[in-house]
Amino acid sequence: MKANFKYNLAWLGVMVLGFVIIDACEFLGIINTFIENMLVTMGINIILATGLNLIIGFSGQFSLGHAGFMAIGAYATGIITQNIATPLGFYLSMGVGIIIAMIAALIVGIPTLRLRGDYLAIATMGAAEIIRILINNFKITNGAAGLFNIPPLVTWVTVYVLMCLTTIITVNFIHSRNGRAIMSVREDEIAAEAMGINTTRWKLAAFVFGAGTAAIGGSLHAAYIQTIAPGDFNIMASIAILIIVVLGGVGSITGTFVAAMVLGALDTILQNFGTLRMIIYALALILIMIFKPAGLLGNWEFSFKRLSRRLRKESAIHE
């Protein structure tokens, strides 16, 4: 317990350090609006991809519908904060978004999660498209035009703090009895059932949890960018999140962080290349996959516990 406290403290240190560095750069003027935009996008992508990694990498269920749940969060925030333009309104809207997204995930997940592999992927993709088409046709969501002038209730600080929070919550969830049950479903469904694991329930738990975090990402996106339209949440948006997960390494949260940052930086650098940008991006994607088929980090995970153990071992050898 004491040791755990030490590692938790180390992580807290990392988070504070990250905050201080960004804040200092902001203060010194190194970060302009352009770079801040990039950092915020990275943060939101990390939130989205971490949730999807829980579904794909840890429960082993191939979902291609993440953008649908993100849309729910985004529209909840867009609609509610236009009426209650206060920070409280924002958090209220985020809560509402999370709850609706989770309910939607239950409705989608209960029937479809018994499908396997690519069939599940295509069914979840269809479900997300249905969500998007409904938004596209509702009056309250302002149809295909989308919502404008959403109050700017989110700064990079909000995104940073929420990114840390959702990551902590997700990682804690994974490293618990719940997470282990979820991973057993990925490893071998039949064996998991035989060990008393209700696989349907745990798959659903991961799916609903992931949908909740997607809604958080959506809320932040809406409040930071201030305009949303149904087209922002199409199949390509789901695929963009999937790319982060696979590029980082399926089943590695560290990898998700690295991939989101690498892709975010790549995107920013490529802004100067104009139309060539997407061609370079596509080539980079293909080449990374060919040379690093398991993603940048495979399923490797950074851990202070392991680091300190290794350091201790090394110092023991030196003595």
Residues that bind another protein (CB under 8 A): 1, 4, 8, 56, 62, 111-112, 114-116, 118-119, 121-123, 125-127, 129-130, 133-134, 136-137, 169, 172-173, 176-181, 183-184, 187-188, 190-199, 235, 239, 242-243, 246-247, 250, 275-276, 278-279, 281-283, 285-286, 289-290, 293-295, 299
Using CB atoms within 10 A of its CB, is residue 228 exposed (0-12), middle (13-18) or buried (19+)?
buried
Query: What whole-number distance in Å separates Cα of residue 263 and Cα of residue 269?
Result: 10
Minimum distance of another protein from residue 195's CB (angstroms): 4
Paired with 228 in beta bridges are 147
Q: CA 50 to CA 94: how far, in whole Å?
A: 18
Least separation in angstroms between residue 94's CB and another protein is 17
CA-closest candidate to residue 243, choices 205, 217, 281, 207: 281
Q: Which residues contact 249 (CB under 8 A, 6 or more apart)?
A: 57, 255, 256, 259, 294, 295, 296, 297, 298, 299, 300
Considering beta carbons, is residue 30 or 276 the nearer one to another protein? 276
Q: How far is the CB of 297 from another protein (least distance, A)?
A: 14
Q: Which is nearer to another protein, 96 or 244 (CB)?
A: 244
- Distance of closest approach, residue 294 Cβ to another protein, in angstroms: 7
Cβ nearer to another protein, comparing 169 with 266: 169
Q: Given the complex with another protein, which of 73 and 249 has the nearer CB atom?
A: 249
Q: In angstroms, what is the minimal distance from the CB of 152 to another protein?
A: 30
CB 63 within 8 A of CB 56: yes
The residue (of 21 and 269) whose beta carbon lies closer to another protein is 269
**Cβ distance 62 to 82 under 8 Å?**
no
**Whole-number Å distance between alpha carbons of 203 and 10:** 32
Closer of 29 and 196 to another protein (Cβ): 196
Closer to another protein by CB, 81 or 141: give it: 141
Q: How far is the CB of 172 from another protein (least distance, A)?
A: 5
Say which residues have a Cβ less than 8 Å from residue 257's Cβ, sequence separation at least 6. Answer: 46, 248
Min dist. Cβ of residue 18 to another protein (A): 21
CB of 88 to another protein, least distance (A): 22
Report the chain's terminal Cα–Cα distance, integer Å: 28
Distance, in Å, from the CA atom of 154 to the CA atom of 87, rounded to the nearest integer, reads 8
CB neighbours (10 Å) of residue 264?
21
Q: Which is nearer to another protein, 86 or 114 (CB)?
A: 114
